[in-house]
């Protein structure tokens, strides 16, 4: 077997054989296949796709590249959630402790930012002392003591995916549906959760721009989960507009704490509760009331214990940027569009994301929104505030915002899209 033959086969729109898939995943994990060769194969997959049997075999090969975790010793049913990535998508932060407060165990393996979308681990690392990397024993201990853990996948869990995930981010192949589906599901199946809820984003700020593509991805992942004995459901959710009022690491942590404290933006609360209900239902806890757990402070209690258990200080001040730049509304009227992708790119350019897999991120960088579509705005009033520690980034970030929003005359009717667009089982 040789990698050139595998690349050529997919380049020429052929279906890869089981042996080819098993070999190339194993060889890439061991370092026999170089990054540039896997980049070429990933691009061929992006352009030419994979059949369902190919995706299933690719996912199985990723799982078999490492270990599997076992949560059978826990006294609670397990439920996990995964988002395909969006702008301002801080939902995991309030969701994990909320579901744990309702009686489930939430083993949340999360990732870094991909392109214009933020990463949960990058956000949480803005909390002083917080650790993303835990051993399997530490992860189980945090789950037992708090009911929820948010951490990086260990080196032994789907190591093939860890290498490929980072490579996709810097080679323009993030959007490949077979690679997204196999990446997500290989980790989740190897993780050993009993049930899984997928938040599949749709819109400009998502990797899936159309509902048809998002539905294809959701159906692929639900099928993979079901075939491996994991009860899996997916929600298609809107990502035409950023979630909440912030996009950036420390900015989103601050907003998540506001939600746990009983405040925060309505769209973040709505989606958090919708996903919590799905997770609890999948875990067999249909009678639990996540809205009550959010209102009575029990979710906040779990958050504080969870952050502390991973070395973080829940009372510490979060980083703030050294420089800010305010974008004002050019006219008065109704904000009818605020493009999620453009805002995500601006946050990325300000330092909240990375251009190469080795790049650090700025904890305090990002974009703060002062209005959402449907809101009345006044000419000259703040519309967006850009945050960064390196002010020479402002010009490049502002370029991405030049056509990011529309303002219609006052009194214009505006009907926002629902946050949850569909449910896939």
Q: What is the pLDDT of residues 389-409, one digit of tens each?
A: 999 999 999 999 999 999 999
Q: What is the full DSSP assignment across 331-372?
A: SSEEEEEE-HHHHHHHHIIIIIS-SSTT----TT-EEEES--
Point out the catalytic residue in the list 80, 89, 122, 161.
161
Instruction: Write phi, then psi, for 143 (nearest 5 degrees).
Output: -60, -45
What CATH architecture is 323-408? Answer: Alpha-Beta Complex (3.90)
Contact present, 177 and 217 (Cβ < 8 Å): yes
pLDDT digits (tens, 9 = 90+) for 136-182: 899 999 999 999 999 998 878 889 998 998 898 789 898 899 998 99
Q: Determine whether 325 is exposed, middle or buried from the number of CB atoms within 10 Å of its CB (0-12, 13-18, 19+).
A: middle
As a whole-number percent, the residues of the chain with pLDDT over 70 amount to: 100
Beta bridge pairs of residue 195: 231
Point out the catalytic residue in the list 90, 187, 188, 387.
187
Q: What is the pTM of this model?
A: 0.90
Residue 187 is a catalytic residue = yes
Say whether pLDDT at 357 is over 70: no
Residue 168 is a catalytic residue = yes
In sign, the C-alpha dihedral spanning 102, 104, 107, 112 is negative
- Which of 162-176, 204-218, 320-334, 357-371 shows the lowest mean pLDDT across its residues? 162-176
Q: Rg of the chain over CA atoms, in angstroms?
A: 21
Distance CA(248)–CA(273), nearest Å, equals 22
Contact present, 146 and 309 (Cβ < 8 Å): yes
Point out the catalytic residue in the list 183, 186, 204, 321.
183
Hey, what CATH topology would domain 80-309 get?
Pyrimidine Nucleoside Phosphorylase; Chain A, domain 2 (3.40.1030)
Residue with tokens 């086969």: 9
Point out the catalytic residue in the list 82, 116, 188, 354.
82
pLDDT digits (tens, 9 = 90+) for 83-119: 988 999 999 999 999 999 999 999 998 888 867 888 9
Q: Which CATH number is associated with domain 3-49?
A: 1.20.970.10
- The full set of domain ranges for the chain reads 3-49, 80-309, 323-408
pLDDT digits (tens, 9 = 90+) for 24-75: 999 999 999 999 999 999 999 999 999 989 999 999 999 999 999 989 899 9
Point out the catalytic residue in the list 168, 188, 201, 305.
168
Distance CA(314)–CA(311), nearest Å, equals 10
Q: Residue 109's closest CA among 167, 182, 188, 166?
A: 188
Residue 169 is a catalytic residue = no
Distance CA(41)–CA(14), nearest Å, equals 12
Say whether pLDDT at 228 is over 90: no
Helix (H) or strand (E) holding 23: helix 18-30
């Amino acid at each position: 077997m040789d990698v050139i033959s595998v690349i050529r086969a997919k380049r020429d729109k052929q279906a890869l054989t089981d042996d080819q898939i098993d070999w190339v995943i194993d060889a890439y994990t061991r370092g026999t296949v170089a990054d540039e060769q896997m980049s070429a194969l990933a691009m061929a997959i992006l352009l030419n796709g994979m059949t369902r049997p190919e995706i299933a075999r690719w996912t199985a090969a990723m799982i078999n590249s490492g270990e599997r975790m076992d949560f059978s010793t826990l006294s609670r049913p397990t439920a996990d959630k995964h988002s395909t990535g969006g702008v301002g998508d801080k939902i995991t932060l309030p969701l994990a402790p909320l579901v744990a407060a309702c009686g489930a165990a939430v083993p949340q393996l999360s990732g870094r930012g991909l392109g214009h979308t933020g990463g949960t681990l990058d956000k949480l690392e803005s909390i002083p002392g917080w650790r993303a990397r835990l051993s399997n024993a530490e992860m189980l201990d945090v789950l037992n003591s708090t009911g929820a853990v948010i951490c990086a996948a260990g080196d032994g869990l789907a190591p093939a995916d860890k290498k490929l995930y980072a490579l996709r981010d810097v080679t323009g192949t993030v959007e490949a549906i077979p690679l997204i589906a196999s990446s997500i599901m290989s980790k989740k199946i190897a993780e050993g959760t009993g049930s899984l809820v997928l938040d599949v984003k749709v819109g400009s700020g998502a990797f899936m721009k159309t509902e048809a593509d998002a539905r294809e991805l959701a159906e692929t992942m639900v099928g993979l989960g079901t075939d491996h004995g994991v009860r899996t459901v997916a929600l298609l959710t809107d990502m035409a507009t950023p979630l909440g009022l912030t996009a950036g690491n420390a900015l989103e942590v601050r907003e998540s704490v506001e939600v746990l404290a009983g405040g925060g933006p309505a769209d973040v609360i709505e989606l958090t509760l919708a996903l919590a209900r799905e997770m609890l239902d999948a875990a067999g806890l249909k009678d639990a009331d996540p809205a009550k757990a959010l209102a009575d402070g029990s979710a906040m209690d779990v958050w504080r214990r969870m952050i502390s258990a991973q070395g973080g200080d829940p009372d510490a001040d979060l980083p703030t940027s050294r420089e800010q730049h305010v974008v004002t509304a050019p006219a008065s009227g109704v904000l009818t569009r605020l493009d999620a992708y453009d805002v995500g790119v601006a946050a990325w350019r300000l330092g909240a994301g990375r251009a190469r897999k080795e790049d650090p991120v700025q904890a305090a960088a990002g974009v703060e929104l002062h209005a959402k579509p449907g809101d009345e705005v006044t000419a000259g009033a703040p519309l967006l505030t850009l945050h960064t520690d390196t002010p020479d980034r402002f010009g490049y970030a502002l370029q991405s915002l030049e056509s990011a929003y529309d303002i219609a005359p006052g009194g214009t009717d505006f009907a926002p899209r629902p946050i949850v667009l569909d449910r896939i089982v």
